[in-house]
Structure 1
Amino acid sequence: MKLTVKQKKFADEYIESGNATQAAIKAGYSKQSARFSGAENLTKPNIKNYIDERMSEMEAKRIMSATEAVQLLTSIARGEVKETVVVATPVGVETTEKEADLKTRITATKEILKRYPGSDKLAEQQLRKAIAEADILEAKAKELQGGGDNQDDMLRGIADSLGGIE
């Protein structure tokens, strides 16, 4: 069901202020019935849905998506984003635009690479360690279930392989 002009105005005012009574007054409801009308409007499914949808849209616009973040990092890493720098001169102060410095570009590149775990040596080591720890736990479980002496040898071998991993 569509909203009337008055209901839409109420919903928009409510989103802005968070006050149902004031929103009702600004939407054109009488001051005497504004408190009741505001509360009643908030229980109507079509108005409530409109408010929820608008709030979701506003929230989505305020939060950067992962794609946007990677795009920004990429443009910084490529030197496409300029930053304003204030420079003192003999005559006063000037502002100028410059590319991000090398350190900033490297940091942006590292941040991008963090999102691609297949190319990260640290992630590979952490995965190797997790697999080895899982093997140790599995061997311990087998030993507790009545396994033989082979498990002790297997545990020592796995523990040795973990030696240099942090």
Structure 2
Amino acid sequence: MTDKQRIFADEYLKDLNGTRAYKIAYPNVKKDSVAAVNASKLLRNAKVRKYIDEQLEKMHNERSADAQEVIEYLSSVMRGNSISTVVQTEFIGDGLSKTKLIEKPPDEKERLKAAELLGKRHALFTDKQQIEVTETPVFVDDLGDDDG
């Protein structure tokens, strides 16, 4: 892959705008129509496509939480092990107040919500009903054949 192709691919990854990316990588091209056609060709280039796909996968892995990470986070909140930063307002008199940031563990409501979400994930709240059939079921064909 050439340096200009890499510049194009890196610019393309910013906003997925091929025309804009092509005009940055190839500044001599001024017309949008020419840039759009050539960007489309570059996006079909195997090396460029592979590079873009690898970068997208890397970005996805870095930015997206997987199921295990979500479960671990909810568990830490439920157990009161996480810390959040909140704004606290303090009244100092004469209608004046000041704010400060404080760190606090999750309150009871937050812990309960985390427990609820974990319970849903593990199907702890599924209603279970046991139905016993004491007679042999009879199926009736009430659709019949209406040929005409």
Unpaired stretches in structure 2, ≥5 consecutive residues:
142-148
- Is 73-82 or 15-24 further displaced after alignment? 15-24
Asked if 1:104 is matched to 2:110, the reply is: yes
Greater relative contact order, per chain length (Cα 8 Å cut-off, separation 6+): 2
Conservation of the 8 A alpha-carbon contact between 1:79 and 1:100:
yes
Conservation of the 8 A alpha-carbon contact between 1:83 and 1:99:
yes
Aligned to 2:49: 48
Conservation of the 8 A alpha-carbon contact between 2:23 and 2:30:
no
Give the superposed CA RMSD.
2.9
Letter in 2 for 1:13: E
Paired positions, count: 132
* Cα offset, 1:7, TM superposition: 1.2
Conservation of the 8 A alpha-carbon contact between 1:7 and 1:27:
yes
Conservation of the 8 A alpha-carbon contact between 1:29 and 1:37:
no
Greater helix share, structure number: 1
Instruction: Provide Cα deviations, 1:34-56, integer angstroms capped at 9, x if missing partner.
Output: 62432321121221232233223
For normalisation by structure 1, the TM-score amounts to: 0.63
For normalisation by structure 2, the TM-score amounts to: 0.70
* Cα offset, 1:82, TM superposition: 1.7
Distance 1:27 1:83 in 2: 43
- Is 30-39 or 44-53 further displaced after alignment? 30-39
Aligned to 2:140: 144
Letter in 2 for 1:58: M
| 3-state SS in 2 of match to 1:76 | helix
* Cα offset, 1:32, TM superposition: 5.6
Identity of aligned residues (%): 27
